[in-house]
């Protein structure tokens, strides 16, 4: 029956159009982010479960880091200042700076670093923990390289990591591109927030298709 082929052909054309024109873009689901139990600048315990359901932007630094951390610190601060450009809907946005090193950092040091950026602890946490746990979280979990030098400073890859409310890493920013990192992250936050707002009902099927066809920015 010749007419059976028409719906199939239309479906194939629709699929091809979706894959070519990418009417919906999504961020890739890279891998699960690590679980952790750390301590923040207020001296309180802070865990990965505390930000479950929130979009979180992570960065990493060592205690006393200056020039190596200037770029990611500035990016974190600018994203914080521009987050109102993103329609987050009912989803909260949080920022977390993980401070690594042999002894992490003292609460006083975390508080001083947080204060230097005017970081509200409800929105931007500076956290640390024991050396082995930090290595598992940062190196094994977030896959951010660092290694101690003889002078007590660190070689490391300045990195920002974007995690969705399900604990899935959706963006990794390790170097400067033609578009500045804050602009790129704000754009990606917009894409992620839109996906979260449309994660239910018929629209969820379209977003599932966007992941299937790798409709990434």
Q: What distance in Å separates the CA atoms of residue 77 and residue 72, rounded to the nearest whole number? A: 9
Residues in the chain: 217
What's the pLDDT score for residue 66?
80
pTM comes to 0.87
Q: What distance in Å separates the CA atoms of residue 154 and residue 65, rounded to the nearest whole number? A: 8
What's the pLDDT score for residue 6?
47
What's the pLDDT score for residue 196?
93
DSSP state of 161: E
What's the pLDDT score for residue 64?
79
| Domain locations in the chain as residue ranges | 2-212
Which CA distances in Å does 164 have to 54, 128, 171, 187, 195?
Answer: 7, 21, 9, 15, 10
Q: What distance in Å separates the CA atoms of residue 58 and residue 172, rounded to the nearest whole number? A: 10
What's the pLDDT score for residue 212?
80
Phi–psi pair at 119, nearest 5 degrees: -80, 120
Query: Tens-digit pLDDT profile for the chain (217 aa)?
Result: 444 454 554 445 555 555 555 578 899 999 999 999 999 999 999 999 999 999 999 999 888 788 878 888 999 999 999 999 999 999 999 999 999 876 557 888 899 989 999 999 999 999 999 989 999 999 999 999 999 888 877 888 889 999 999 999 999 998 655 456 899 999 999 999 999 998 787 778 888 888 887 788 8
**Bridge partners (DSSP) listed for residue 37:** 47
Across the chain, where does the E strand assignment appear? 31-32, 37-40, 45-47, 55-62, 93-100, 124-128, 146-148, 154-156, 160-163, 168-173
* Domain at 2-212, CATH homologous superfamily: Glutaredoxin (3.40.30.10)
Q: For residues 106, 111, 113 and 118, what is the CA-based torsion angle, rounded to 10 degrees?
A: 170
What's the pLDDT score for residue 5?
54
Q: What distance in Å separates the CA atoms of residue 72 and residue 21, rounded to the nearest whole number? A: 33
């Amino acid at each position: 029956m010749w007419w059976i082929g028409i719906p199939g052909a239309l479906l194939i054309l629709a699929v091809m159009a979706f894959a070519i024109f990418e009417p919906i873009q999504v961020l890739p689901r890279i891998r699960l982010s690590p679980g952790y139990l750390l301590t923040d600048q207020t001296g309180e315990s802070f865990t990965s479960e505390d930000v479950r359901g929130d979009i979180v932007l992570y960065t990493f630094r060592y205690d006393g880091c200056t020039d190596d951390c200037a770029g990611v610190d500035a990016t974190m601060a600018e994203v914080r200042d521009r987050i109102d450009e993103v329609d987050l809907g009912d989803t909260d946005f949080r920022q977390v700076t993980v401070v690594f090193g042999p002894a992490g950092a003292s609460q006083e040091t975390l508080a001083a670093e947080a204060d230097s950026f005017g970081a509200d602890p409800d929105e931007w946490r500076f956290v640390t923990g024991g050396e082995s746990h930090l290595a598992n979280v940062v190196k094994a979990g977030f896959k951010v390289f660092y290694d101690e030098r003889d002078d007590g400073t660190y070689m490391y890859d300045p990195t920002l990591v974007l995690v969705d409310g399900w604990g899935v890493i959706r963006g990794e920013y390790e170097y400067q591109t033609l578009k500045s990192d804050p602009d790129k992250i704000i754009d990606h936050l917009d894409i992620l927030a839109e996906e979260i707002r449309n994660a239910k009902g018929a629209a969820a099927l379209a977003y599932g298709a966007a992941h299937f066809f790798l409709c990434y920015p």
